[in-house]
A and B are shown apart, each in its own frame.
Chain A
């Protein structure tokens, strides 16, 4: 949805940010199946969680002013380590521990430079494409409800 998540960039921090944001929004079943394929033979150790908690979601007064506390959202976070020592983290909306676990696993795998391109191509790009497709569908459905105003002439001239 955001610009940063659509344009690929050479900045590794921005690239990881984009990847992590994608993992967080993926379906748990998709991540699980992808890990069976890409992570075969790798051992995953749990460092923390998955554990459920809350994030206070903030808004801004007037939309762009001082922040205020809108309300909380349930989240699940996890941290894992792979046997090569890479540490992965995740925080996802909702209470799905499996999704948080695999999101952290893929963050760790993404950090393995020999795997990065594969993860980008087979996971990040696929998730982003799925999100973009859902968004495009919803956008086009909304667009069909756009009011096309026309002016009616009244009176004699």
Chain B
């Protein structure tokens, strides 16, 4: 039986009006501007762009504002927005080797060409709340130093690669990459699809999984070969021109994780690698992504898949926070009829139980599970 229930329109309308009021807060306090959000909460905006899978700082700032700072809600808004737009083209793959570097560090080479550039990092701060943050004091201009005529900093991987101590990037076979926004996720998933899913995956989920690999659940024994953050040009080959043109720049974070050796009969032992690439300044996410990317490559290195981070279906099917939110939060929706059905079943079972115990025929104790009646059946 299906019972339609109506009602709640006025309550919903008033709830949304109340939400708008609470979102704005005290009217005597100036409203946040998009410039303030994009400029001063830049890393929140970066996360919304990365996991919303749409690079547009102004739009991400609007989403952060609308969602009252609930970043997963903001990511949801961005994902919904992107479905309303046509896709004009795909870019040429960005060249991170030509990045305008704002930060670049390596934990494997102290004296790498181009140097260790700390950039605007939280590292080495004391993690104590600064009393100055309560006010709006003067902030000093950054120190500048002439970088000279240095060319693009070579990627660390190319240094190790020259000695054949580390596996290469793999070949570009010219095949069009798969796109999980156009075709459903299927297993086994090729690496390009995995990287796309990880790049838009939830930072917290991937951080936990990456951490688990370090703690022994799919041990990878990693080193940070290189992290670099900065702007890269986006180039698109447009038919109206007949040649690729630069349409602007995006900021990205790239992490090259160097991992344990692997050798075979045909190959000498080499370091293996995990790769992380994310929109915006998102170092933690890029690192977590590279750990999980490496863990998911288990089959390539004949590693047994025993840990969650190595389980492709587990990782890819659960790393998307918009999907996860949808299914977890749907539990809030009315389940009145489902629940009534279960209540009825449970009452019947209890009556039978009482009848059996007064007969003296039941051997069962009070702790017996209620069985299949406890399952969610509305999927």
Contacts and interface: CB of A to CB of B under 8 A. Distances in A.
A17 B235 CA distance: 11
B236 A144 contact: no
B157 A73 contact: no
B347 to A, nearest CB: 52
A24 B245 contact: yes
B60 to A, nearest CB: 10
B341 to A, nearest CB: 43
Nearest to A58: B93
B145 A24 contact: no
A20 B56 contact: no
Interface bracket on B: 35 or more
A55 B175 contact: no
A17 B145 contact: no
B195 interface: yes
A147 B275 contact: no
Interface of B: 49-50, 53-56, 58-59, 82, 85-94, 96-98, 100-103, 110-111, 115-119, 142-147, 155, 157, 168-173, 175, 177-181, 191-193, 195-196, 199-200, 231, 233-234, 236, 238, 240-250, 252, 254, 256, 273, 275, 277, 279
A51 B92 CA distance: 21
B191 A68 contact: yes
Given A54-B87, A57-B55, A139 B147 contact: yes
A140 interface: yes
A25 interface: yes
A27 to B, nearest CB: 12
A69 B179 contact: yes
27 contacts: A2-B98, A17-B245, A53-B88, A55-B236, A56-B87, A59-B195, A61-B195, A62-B169, A63-B275, A64-B168, A65-B172, A66-B172, A68-B195, A70-B196, A71-B279, A72-B54, A72-B87, A79-B240, A91-B247, A93-B250, A94-B248, A95-B59, A137-B144, A139-B147, A140-B147, A143-B146, A145-B119
Given A58-B93, A60-B169, A74 B247 contact: no
Contacts of A61: 169-170, 191-192, 195, 275
A77 interface: yes
Given A17-B241, A95-B59, A71 B54 contact: yes
Contact of A63 (B82, B155, B173, B244): B155
Contacts of B110: 149
Given A25-B248, A65-B171, A91-B89, 18 more contacts: A1-B231, A1-B233, A13-B243, A17-B244, A21-B233, A21-B246, A54-B82, A60-B169, A64-B97, A65-B168, A67-B172, A71-B53, A72-B53, A72-B55, A73-B234, A93-B250, A140-B144, A149-B111
A5 interface: yes
A90 B178 CA distance: 27
A147 B54 contact: no
A64 B55 CA distance: 22
B93 A59 contact: yes
B71 to A, nearest CB: 16
A146 interface: yes
A56 B247 contact: no
Chain A to chain B: the 3 pairs with minimum beta-carbon distance, closest first:
A93-B248, A65-B169, A62-B169
Which of B86, B97, B110, B240 has the most chain A CB atoms closer than 10 A to its own CB? B240
Interface in A14-32: 16-17, 20-21, 24-25
B54 A74 contact: yes
A153 B173 CA distance: 51
A94 B234 contact: no
Nearest to B175: A66
B196 A140 contact: no
B55 A74 contact: yes
Given A54-B86, A145-B118, A25 B249 contact: yes
Nearest to A72: B54
A13 B241 CA distance: 9
A147 B123 CA distance: 13
A92 B244 contact: no
Contacts of A66: 170-173, 175, 177, 191-192
B116 A147 contact: yes
A77 to B, nearest CB: 6
A101 interface: no
Which of B59, B145, B155 has the most chain A CB atoms closer than 10 A to its own CB? B145
A2 B242 CA distance: 19
Nearest to B53: A71
A75 interface: yes
Contacts of A62: 157, 168-170, 256, 273, 275
Nearest to B200: A71
A92 B238 CA distance: 12
A138 interface: yes
